[in-house]
Amino acid sequence: MNDSPSSLPSRGAIGPALAMTVRALAALAGSYAFTWGITAGGAVLGWRLGLPRSEAVLWFSMLAFLLFPLMSLWALVTRRLWRVWLVLLAGAAIGAGVAQWLGERLA
């Protein structure tokens, strides 16, 4: 098993320490933002499509715990970090947008 960070292929122009920080951030914060967006947006969409509120919340909350580890792992192993961030931020933004525009909070 090779445990040196330099074994990770192709990290572009930035230095290894910075690249590692950006990658760790993607695996934690980026993946969490993505998961948050998909969970919120998915729950709202599910509800709009006819699921009871609480059911929509529960399905997407459970899905979140498959999404986060997979996105996080993907962020750790994919070569092109910019693509990882693009997907993570796009997912977070789209999900949050759907939740914002289509959501309606029950009092």
Partner 1 sequence: MSKTVRKNNNRAAANKTAAHEGGLRQAMTWAHTWIGVLLGGVLMVAFFMGSVAVFDREIDRWMMPATRIEAAPPGIDIDTVVPRAVEALAAGKPLREWAVTLPEARTPVMIARVRYAAAGGQIRLADPRTGALLPEVGTLGASSFFYPLHYNLHLRVWNIGYWLVGLAAMAMLAAIVSGVIVHVRIFRDFFTFRPRKQLQRSLLDLHNLTGVLALPFHAVISFSGICIVYMILIPAGINALYQQPNAFYDQALSGYSRQAAGVAAPMAPLGPMVEAARARWGGAAPAAIRVWNPGDANAVVKVSRSVGDRVSLADDAAYFDGATGALLHHAPLQPAATTQRFLTGMHFIAFDHWPLRWLYFLGGLAGCVLIGTGQLYWLDKRHARHGERGVRLAAAVTAAMTTGLVIATLAMMVANRLLPMTLPSREFIEAGLFFLVWLATAIHARVAMRAGSRTLVPWRQQCLAIAVLAVAAPVCNGLTTGDWLPLALARGQFAVAGVDIALLLTGALALTTARRVRRVAVARAATRAATAPNLEEADHAERA
Is the Cβ–Cβ distance between 4 and 17 less than 8 Å? Answer: no
Is the Cβ–Cβ distance between 98 and 41 less than 8 Å? Answer: yes
Q: Is residue 13 close enough to count as binding partner 1 by CB under 8 A?
A: no
Binding-residue pattern over the window 37 to 66 for partner 1, x denoting contact by CB under 8 A = x-xxxxxx--x----xxxxxxxxxxx-xxx
Q: Is residue 1 close enough to count as binding partner 1 by CB under 8 A?
A: yes
Q: Which is nearer to partner 1, 12 or 52 (CB)?
A: 52
Q: Is residue 16 close enough to count as binding partner 1 by CB under 8 A?
A: no
Distance CA 95, CA 52 (A): 19
Distance CA 20, CA 27 (A): 10
Q: Is residue 22 close enough to count as binding partner 1 by CB under 8 A?
A: no
